[in-house]
Every structure is written in C-alpha cells, then in structure tokens.
Structure 1
Amino acid sequence: MACFTVPLAEAVVLTAVKKIAFKRNADSVINEAEMTKNQKIAVLKEKFRILEKMLYGGSFLLAVEHLYHGEISLVPPFLTAMKNPAEIPEMLREMATVGVGMALLTTVVWAAGIGISALVKNLKKKSADGIGLSGAAV
C-alpha cells in the first residue's frame, strides 16, 4: 500500500542532511595520499549520493508498481487505503514492517558495498606496496 513512502522519506531526509552538512563543492580526487579535506568531503558526499540514488530509485519503482496494481490513485487522497478509515491501521502496519525493512535493507546493502569497496582498495594498495595477501613481503 504505502511501503514505498518509508525509503522515500529516508531519501528526503538524507538529501536535506547532506545539503546542510556539505555546503561546499570540492574538486575532483587525484590521489588518496594527496587528498585535501575538501576532496575527502567530496568522496564522502559521493558515497551518500549513491545511497540517495538507491533509495529514490527503489521508491520510484515501488510507486510505479503500486500504481499499476491500483493501490495508488492520481487524485487525492492518492493512497487507496486512505479512502476507507478501516484500512488505515493495516497501511500503517505495512509501512512499519515492510517499509522500514526495505529502507534498512537498502542502507545495509549500501554500507556493505562501501565496506567491500574499501577492503578491495586496501588489498590493492597492499599488493602494490609489495605485501602479498599472506602478509609476507614479496
């Protein structure tokens, strides 16, 4: 019914927080060792942009799916569950369970992707420095 609104709300909050926290635009990143504070902020901002895209994209696709199945109308109150007061508790329960679950899963998958990316980057850096995966010098 309205489960897509929870990831959408997370995306809107993330966008607002990102705009407040990162007011400056940073230059492009050249080398991690030579990164300035602004460049590190730009990298962090890019990571949050990826989460934003995941949340907005998923919410959009779910909204289209709900529209297709007739759970959303293009006239107020937009959510068909809002037309019948008896259906509102069921809608809120779905938002609290399915919607929150989807938002949390999306955020966990994003965090895992960022963590794996950092791990691979560190492994590449170690192998470039002459240290193998076993920790012994090559």
Structure 2
Amino acid sequence: MAALQKSNALGAAMAMRLVVRWTMQQLKEQRAMLSSNSTFVPFFLQETAETGLVTCGRGDKKTKKGKRFKGSYGNSRPKREKKVERIKDRIEVPSYCRGKLEERRKEMSLGELREESFRRKEKREKESRVENFERRKKKSKGGREEEG
C-alpha cells in the first residue's frame, strides 16, 4: 500500500514537471512571436525572448541540513575568525592593601599617577636587566671553573 502511494506521489511530481515545462515552452514561443512582429518592443524583452526567462542572481540556497539562505549572493557565512587569547600580566593585590592603594590614588592627580606608574615600570626593567646580567655572569664563571 505504501509503495503504491509513493509511486503515485512520484507520478504526480513528474506530471507537474511536464506541465511546467510545457508552459515554459509556450511562454518562449509567445515572446518570440511578440518580438518578431513588432519593431518597437524594448531590447530587454527581445533578449529575454531569445534566451528564455531572466534569472536574477542565485536566489535561495539550501544548506546540507536543509536550512535556507534567502537570496544569498556569494559568501553567505564569512570565515570564523580565530580570536587571539590575550594574557594579561596582573598581580592580585591582597584585600588589606587595596584600601590603601585606592586612598592613595584618590589623593594623587592623573599626572602624578602616570609618573608613578612610569617609575615602577623603569624599576622593574632595571631589576630584570640586573638579574639577567647576574645570571649570565654566573653561567660564564661556572663554565670557566669547569674547564680549569
């Protein structure tokens, strides 16, 4: 029974296709006759009569999952951009120090705050340079003692 219904559905679909094809051919013939009989028909209509129906763009497209992109003319979904994970070097300040820092910041002006942060940065850079220098010095001394 199910097979019979399926075959009937397929037959109906095929019949619909044939009807549509026949009507399209009729339209083509009518347009061709219209363009050949009259000389004042616009160029656009003459061109469509020769080639058939005018298709505008690519229309609706279906994805693999059956979802529909309406009127997608090209890249309907751009490539997903990879976000760079940013590592922020921040040191957690203990809660008992936070209050003191906030009070101090309220008292200082913006210029003073900038100067202080600049001084801290310079101090850290200097300390790291000194540490690197001492580390290199230890390595070079260690290498000489082993050789001698």
TM (norm. structure 2) is 0.28
Q: Which has the higher helix share?
A: 1
Greater length-normalized contact order (CA 8 Å, ≥ 6 residues apart):
1
